[in-house]
Structure 1
């Protein structure tokens, strides 16, 4: 499991609002380039975001599915980008003081080529990518708080 933490100067509810808006997925997830559809009821267990991964002209259509949702504390996803693989991503939100949230993002490969890589090798790619994803998530959440 590769973990990245970030502190966000807003409430867990504001952060979860961004996570609960499936149409913002490509705005904060590094690698997701376009949202094609969001299942009604997102982020209920089993609902999916239908997205594109990559950069033009090399784009792959795939999905991300909710495995566990416990608003505003937890969202666990199964993200596919086949043929590269499938990952389990866990986002835990914890209020550390009023108006401040610690976000812990954990990711590990569960299928595909990434699964056989040692955790240290996965971390070389996932830590910078997930740090940037959390920066984007934080900016979106803080922007919602400012409105």
Structure 2
């Protein structure tokens, strides 16, 4: 399993609010290029984001499914992109001092061509992609949190 982490200057509930908005998924997930639909009950267990992966016009249409959720704490997903495969993705939010959160993202390929590769080789692809995903997520949550605080002032 490949894991990356990042600390952001926002509380866990602010991070989870972005994760709970399925329409923002393509804003931070590297490779996701378009959201076609989000199940009304997202992020309930079994709910899905219907997305496209890859550049137009060569994109693949598939879904990401919620496997487990603990609001404000964690979100477990199965990200699909056939024929490329599928991966389990775990997002964990850990409080780190006053108003800070450590976001941990772990990924394990579960199906498809990547599954036959050794974990070290999988990590060569997953770690840089997931590091970028967390950088995008950090910018998104930090900006949304700052805007919300300014609106309340």
If the length of structure 2 is used for normalisation, what is the TM-score? Answer: 0.95
Look at both structures and tell me which one has the larger radius of gyration over its CA atoms.
Answer: 2
Per-residue deviation, 1:10: 0.5
CA distance in 2 between counterparts of 1:95 and 1:144 reads 18
SS at match of 1:55: coil
Unaligned runs of at least 5 residues, structure 1: none
Say yes or no: does 1:93 pair with 2:78: no
Detail structure 1 runs of 4+ shifted over 3 Å in the superposition: none
- Report the equivalent of 2:17: 17
Aligned CA-pair RMSD = 0.5
What are the equivalent positions in structure 2 for 1:30-45 lying under 5 Å apart? 30-45=30-45
Per-residue deviation, 1:125: 0.5
Per-residue deviation, 1:56: 1.3
1:20-65 C-alpha deviation (Å, 9 max, x unpaired): 0000000000000000000011000000000000001211100000
CA distance in 1 between counterparts of 2:7 and 2:123 reads 20
- Report the equivalent of 1:135: 135
CA distance in 1 between counterparts of 2:142 and 2:85 reads 32
If the length of structure 1 is used for normalisation, what is the TM-score? Answer: 0.99
Say yes or no: does 1:55 pair with 2:42: no
CA distance in 2 between counterparts of 1:99 and 1:138 reads 14
CA distance in 1 between counterparts of 2:71 and 2:139 reads 19
Say yes or no: does 1:102 pair with 2:107: no
What are the equivalent positions in structure 2 for 1:55-94 lying under 5 Å apart? 55-94=55-94
Name the structure with the higher strand share: 1
Per-residue deviation, 1:98: 1.4
CA distance in 1 between counterparts of 2:40 and 2:111 reads 27
Per-residue deviation, 1:130: 0.2
CA distance in 1 between counterparts of 2:9 and 2:33 reads 27
